[in-house]
Amino acid sequence: MKKAGLIICLLLLIGCKSKTISRDTEDLKIKKVSSAEVNSNQQRKAYELGKRVLETCNTSKFKPFNETEVTKSVMENTTEERLTKTCQRFRQYYGSFIDLKLDGVYKTKKEVIYRYRALYTKKVANKELRIFVNEDNLISAIKSMDWDEKFDAKTTE
């Protein structure tokens, strides 16, 4: 009986051997580039759309995105209801939105990431806005988070 249990455990151990998954690490590499190296129209578009989202908190009016500006998933996720809920919290803690200050531009194999520092009227405000632009020159993600001086690539995934 002990031998049978040992053989079953051994077979399970062999059967559960981990598989190696090959992944192209080039897709995951993020490198900082100068703003001169990126398309100025793309950079302007990222700034304007990011500012449009955060200015919604000041005006309570949101001009919906269209398919020439953002991907379908961003269009579906950026609703007036969701923005209103977020804006109530932001205005309470950070005050009115002032502007975006470009801190850096980062490239992966498939995206360009614009990292902005969001400026608010209250001094305690320490927020960041990341705008992701895909190969089709569409905004593929908009992400707000607490500001950290060091760019952490793990928070982009």
User: Domains in the chain, please, with CATH?
Assistant: 29-151 (3.10.450)
* Packing angle of the helix pair 80-94, 40-59 (nearest 10 deg): 80
Longest dimension (CA), the chain: 75
pLDDT of residue 2: 57
Is the pTM higher than 0.85? The answer reads no
Residues of the chain with pLDDT under 70: 1-28, 153-157
Looking at every residue in the chain, the average pLDDT score rounds to 83
Number of Cβ within a 10 Å radius of residue 84: 13
